[in-house]
Structure 1
Amino acid sequence: MENRNFAFIKTDKKLVKVFYHEINIIRGLGNYVEILTTDNKRYIYYRTLKDLIENLPEEFMRVHHSYIVNLTTIDSFEDNHLVCGDLKITVAKSYKECLTTALGKMML
């Protein structure tokens, strides 16, 4: 099960299969997270960002106190802002260097 490309989350009293490549952004909401997918679905899930980031594949990175992004869904990065689809996310100073290094490895 190490190489699986999906996870089940419990939302709305049911288990929902979510593929990692479909996750765009994960937003922290206290003890809950909101998972936003590339097809504009939203799931609320009981888990903290800190716990969640430890169980996600390496293409996910925390870029702010309240945000985890899927590096493969980033449209652009300029100044301290990421654009992922319709959302513009501010990158915290403490995460900027790590993000720049990760994106550098993805450059041609």
Structure 2
Amino acid sequence: MKNKTFAFIKTDKKFVKLFFDDITAIKGLGNYVEIYTTSDKKYIYYKTLKDLIESLPDEFMRIHNSYIVNLTNIHSFEDNHIICKDLKLTVAKSYRECLMNTLQKMML
């Protein structure tokens, strides 16, 4: 399953199938993460951001100590904020240059 497009997470005592394309952002909550989706659903999952970023596809990028975003679901980026659906996320200074370089490669 090298090119997998989905993963299962255990939340609320059940396994939920999540497609990577449906994830907009992931917020770190200590040893847990809150996963935001394009359908406005939120899932709490027991895993740290550090562990999670290693198992996500390349279109996911850490933009803050507390946030990972799916680059394919970014609506806009201005100043130090990324807009993903209804979320306005701050980009930390330490992650800004890497994000800018990645976005430059995606420009027409």
Q: Please state which band the TM-score falls in when normalised by the shorter chain.
A: over 0.9
1:80 shift after superposition: 0.6
TM-score, normalised via structure 1 length: 0.99
Question: Is 1:33 the counterpart of 2:37 in the alignment?
Answer: no
Residue of structure 2 in register with 1:59 after alignment: 59
Paired residue for 2:88?
88
Shift of 1:22: 0.2
Task: Specify the code of the residue in structure 1 equivalent to 2:105.
Answer: K
1:87 and 1:67 map into 2 onto residues whose CA distance is 11
User: Could you give the per-residue CA deviations for residues 3-26 of structure 1, whole angstroms, max 9, x where no partner exists?
Assistant: 110000000011110000000000
Deviation of 1:63 (Å): 0.1
The question of 1:77 aligning with 2:50 is answered: no
What CA deviation, in whole Å up to 9, does each residue of 1:39-89 have, x standing for no partner? 001100000000000000000000001000000000111111101111111
**CA–CA distance in 2 between the matches of 1:59 and 1:4?**
13
Query: Which residues of structure 2 form unaligned runs of 5+?
Result: none
Q: Distance in 2 between matches of 1:73 and 1:95?
A: 18
Q: TM-score, normalised by structure 2?
A: 0.99
- Count of aligned residue pairs for this structure pair: 108
Runs of 4+ in 1 over 2 A off after TM superposition: none
Aligned-partner Cα distance in 1 for 2:38–2:8: 17
Find the aligned partners of 2:5 and 2:35 in 1 and give their Cα distance: 16
